[in-house]
Amino acid sequence: MIAYDLQCANGHIFEGWFEDGQAYEAQQKKNLIACPVCNDTSINRIPSTFAIKTSQVSISPQDRLTDLEKFGKQIIDYVKKSFDDVGTEFAKEALKIHYGVSEPKNIRGVSTKQEEETLKQEGVKFFKIPMPTPPDTDA
């Protein structure tokens, strides 16, 4: 069994248990997974929070915040360097790649809920990452 943290399009977070990753994928494609709060079937997996027992190391809240800021900046830098920004053309470009009209490549951009639903219906796999702009960079 595997447990995933899930989120519906309305922002409700809940947990789902599946036999394995393939069972999750199969159920999601058939819209069999629904939010227990609003019954929405537009479901995405989100990163899980879990606890790992470690030795007692004293880290100040300021050090922890600084480490998180550095890590966040590394993620943002990686995405900006490794994914072509297609802006508002994300859905169109994703469909072109999906159907072999364009060469496969990593892309990033923005899309509307309607465009995201179309991508899901067409079988295009994508995921959303919030991309905050760090205060010390120009975006």
- Token readout for 118 is 């179309």
Helix (H, G, I), strand (E, B) or coil at 44: strand
Q: How far apart are CA 15 and CA 6, in angstroms?
A: 6
User: Is the four-CA dihedral 116, 119, 123, 127 of positive or negative sign?
Assistant: negative
Q: Give the predicted TM-score (pTM) of the model.
A: 0.49
Segment 24-35, tens digit of pLDDT? 899 999 999 999
Instruction: State the DSSP H helix or E strand holding residue 105, giving kind and residue range, or none if neither.
Output: none
From the CB of residue 90, how many other CB atoms can be counted at a distance below 10 Å?
Answer: 20
Q: How open is the CA angle 111-20-120, to the nearest 5 degrees?
A: 20
**Contact call for residues 103 and 97 (beta carbons, < 8 A):** yes
Query: How far apart are the C-alpha atoms of 114 and 52, rounded to whole Å?
Result: 39
Q: pLDDT digit string (tens) for 5-21?
A: 899 999 898 888 888 88
Q: What is the pLDDT of residues 56-114, one digit of tens each?
A: 666 777 777 788 888 888 888 888 899 999 999 999 999 999 999 999 999 999 999 99
Condensed to tens digits (0 to 9), the pLDDT of residues 36-45 reads 999 999 999 8
